[in-house]
Amino acid sequence: MVCKRVIQQLSEYLDGELDSALLEELSTHLERCEDCRIVVDTCRKTIEIYCNTEPLPLPQDVRERLERALREKLGKRSADESS
């Protein structure tokens, strides 16, 4: 396997979607190619950092305006339905 092929298969490799023959080829390549190993490791880290980052709470002013908008809309529908 050449480096170009490793990069093409990178996402499938990191997502655990490679079949066993390709996985073995790629793993063998990674054992001897430091550049590819670095790309794979840092790409894995990129995904992990994003996946593990919780969103910040809604800013207070955004939450207040959202609650107001929902109250108006939801209240209106309830009133329409009961009339």
Partner 1 sequence: MPTHLANEATLVAQAQAGDAAAFSTLVEQYDRYIYRLALNITGNKEDAEDVLQESLLKAYTKLGQFQGGSRFCTWLVRIAVNEALMRLRKRSPQKEVSLDEPVEGNERSLMPREIEDWADNPEQQYAKVELNKILDETIAKLEPNFRTVFVLRDVENLSTEETAQILGLSVPAVKSRLLRARLKARELLGEYFKKGKTVGL
Chain contacts with partner 1 (rule: CB under 8 A): 3-4, 7-8, 10-12, 14-15, 35, 38-39, 41-43, 45-47, 49-51, 53, 55-58, 62-63, 65-66, 69-70, 73-75, 77-78, 81
CA distance 12 to 24: 13
Residues 6 and 33 sit within 8 Å (Cβ to Cβ): yes
Residue number, 27 or 77, with CB nearest to partner 1: 77
2 Cα distance to chain centroid: 27
Closest distance to partner 1 from the beta carbon of 20 (Å)? 19
CB of 21 to partner 1, least distance (A): 19
How many Cβ atoms sit within 10 Å of the Cβ of residue 47? 12
Q: Take residue 54 and report the two structure tokens written for it.
A: 């919780």
Nearest distance from C-beta of residue 22 to partner 1, angstroms:
15
